[in-house]
Amino acid sequence: MDLEPFDDSWNEGFEHLIQYCKQMGHTRPPRSHQTESGFKLGAWVSSQRARRERLTEEQRKTLEGMPGWIWSLVKLIG
């Protein structure tokens, strides 16, 4: 996937999300999930959801393009 030139830390998180999705088949890691390298992917995903309105339109669209991406876990529970 060709990433837009977002902030390097955002790109790092997104790359980890891509790898997680390839392995697990979804984009909903548990909040406590860390990658083998120690990246706190679950916290990163949670942060993206909380920061939705502050993300760029391109970042929102990029996340929404991921298989199974949802902005609110309430929709899964409710």
Q: pLDDT digits over 49-76, tens only?
A: 999 999 999 999 999 999 989 998 775 5
Domains in the chain, number: 1
Confirm whether 25 is domain-assigned.
Answer: yes
Yes or no: say if 11 and 59 are a contact pair by the CB < 8 Å rule: no
Q: Residue 14: which domain range?
A: 8-77
pTM to 2 decimal places: 0.85
Q: What is the spatial distance between Cα 8 and Cα 71, in angstroms, rounded to a whole number?
A: 22
Which residue from 11, 15, 19, 16 is spatially nearest to 58, judged by alpha carbons?
Answer: 11
Q: What is the spatial distance between Cα 11 and Cα 13, in angstroms, rounded to a whole number?
A: 5
78 pLDDT more than 60? no
47 pLDDT more than 80? yes
Q: Encoding tokens for residue 19?
A: 């790898």
How confident is the model at residue 75, as a pLDDT?
A: 57
Confirm whether 1 is domain-assigned.
Answer: no
Confirm whether 3 is domain-assigned.
Answer: no
List Cβ neighbours of 8 (8 Å cut-off, separation of 6 or more).
none
Q: pLDDT digits over 3-36, tens only?
A: 445 688 999 999 999 999 999 999 999 999 999 9
